């Protein structure tokens, strides 16, 4: 089995764990910096080059595409898909998940609950946007933000109007969401592989911070999901079409609310908090979907010259 991990940094915990899990199975696992790939497109022929040399076709790929490189990264994933290579996360699903507005639209259409969200242009009245969101306090999210960056909590009408006017003045695209106070700065990350929950953790934001992201100083512990939390996470992953993903939810009075579905969830927090071998589950997913053919050299059969038969 030949597996490529599309990652820009082989020393990252997630990447190294995936390499370890695949290598333990005797597979050929290679980390490929997708920004160093180029593609060739000809009639009836698709090729990928890496560092100037043609890259042998793998059996499967594991995309670990950074949010700032979504366009180029998904172009590489799509090329592998067109070469009939199995990918644990499809290019279209990655693009959908990276577009915060689009992903919420998809989740809404599929009946997945979430905080009330308003999106408007910079020509809209800040006062109207605040009213549509249910009033303050509310949360402002920059569409291009990741890992909790670009997320602001505003608690008063005056502050909300000032921040909205400032962002709209810079032509920044924003999502405005209701603030779920009862969540207490905590959320739940559910890790899903192949339509099954393989781990869950509860993340708690640092003191004084409503964001629970581990990159922002949050902490994590293993979490036992309720039936509703589990069904909500699975529904979100299915709606987004993601084979491997992390579903982020916050508890509320009306049940779990989905905040985001992450197409490249990190493994460190979930593995260390739960003790589960999540990387191994991803390899199980690949093994289930890829049938390899033994292409080792076969012994040559002795050839009998026909001219000598019956002579």
Which carries the bigger pLDDT value, residue 288 or residue 123? 288
Is there a domain that residue 111 lies in? no
Dump pLDDT digits (tens) for 174-208: 889 988 888 888 899 999 999 999 999 998 866 55
* HSE value, Cβ hemisphere, 13 Å, CA-based, for 257: 19
Residue 138 lies in a domain: yes
For the stretch 238-264, pLDDT in tens is 999 999 999 999 999 999 999 999 999
Q: Domain check: are 151 and 237 in the same one?
A: no
Q: Which residue range(s) make up the domain with 174?
A: 116-179
pLDDT at residue 170, rounded to an integer:
80
Same domain assignment for residues 195 and 255: yes
Neighbouring CB atoms inside 10 A of 223's CB total 18
Say if residues 39 and 67 touch (Cβ distance below 8 Å). no
Q: Are residues 191 and 280 in the same domain?
A: yes
67 with 38, same domain? yes
Q: Is 305 within the bounds of a domain?
A: no
Q: Are residues 216 and 283 in the same domain?
A: yes
Same domain, 17 and 83: yes
- State the total domains in the chain: 3
Residues 123 and 192 placed together within one structural domain of the fold: no
- Does residue 56 form part of some domain? yes
**pTM for this model (two decimals):** 0.84
Long-range CB pairs of 210-213, under 8 A, 24+ apart, other chains included: 210/139, 210/153, 210/179, 210/185, 211/148, 211/151, 211/185, 212/148, 212/185, 212/186, 212/187, 213/147, 213/148
User: Which of 8, 9, 29 has the alpha carbon at shortest distance from 18?
Assistant: 29
Q: Is residue 217 part of a domain?
A: yes
Is 299 domain-assigned?
A: no
Domain identity same for 6 and 65:
yes
């Amino acid at each position: 089995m030949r597996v490529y991990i599309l990652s820009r940094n082989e020393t990252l915990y997630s990447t190294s764990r995936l390499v370890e899990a695949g290598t333990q199975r005797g597979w050929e696992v290679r980390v490929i910096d997708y920004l160093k790939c180029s593609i060739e497109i000809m009639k009836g022929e698709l090729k990928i080059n890496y560092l100037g040399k043609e890259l042998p076709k793998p059996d499967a790929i594991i995309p670990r595409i950074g949010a700032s490189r979504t366009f180029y990264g998904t172009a590489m994933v799509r090329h592998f898909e067109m070469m009939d290579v199995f990918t644990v996360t499809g290019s279209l699903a990655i693009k959908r998940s990276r577009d915060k507005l689009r992903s919420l639209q998809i989740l809404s259409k599929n009946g997945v609950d979430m905080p009330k969200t308003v999106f408007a242009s910079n020509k809209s009245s800040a006062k109207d946007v605040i009213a549509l969101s249910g009033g303050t306090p509310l949360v402002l999210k920059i569409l291009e933000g990741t890992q909790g960056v670009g997320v602001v909590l505003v608690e008063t009408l005056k502050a909300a109007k000032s921040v909205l006017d400032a962002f709209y003045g810079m032509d920044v695209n924003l999502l405005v969401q209701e603030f779920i106070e009862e969540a207490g700065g905590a959320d739940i990350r559910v890790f899903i592989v192949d339509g099954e929950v393989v781990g869950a953790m509860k993340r708690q934001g640092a003191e004084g911070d409503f964001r629970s992201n581990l990159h922002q100083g949050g902490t994590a512990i293993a979490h036992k999901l309720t039936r509703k939390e589990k069904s909500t996470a699975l529904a979100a992953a299915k709606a987004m079409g993601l084979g491997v993903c992390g579903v982020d939810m916050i508890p509320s009075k009306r049940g779990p609310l989905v905040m985001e579905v992450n197409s490249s969830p990190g493994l460190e927090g979930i593995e260390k908090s739960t003790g589960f071998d999540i990387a191994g589950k991803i390899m199980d997913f690949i093994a289930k979907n890829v049938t390899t053919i033994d292409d080792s050299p076969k012994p040559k059969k002795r050839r009998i010259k026909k001219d000598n038969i019956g002579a």
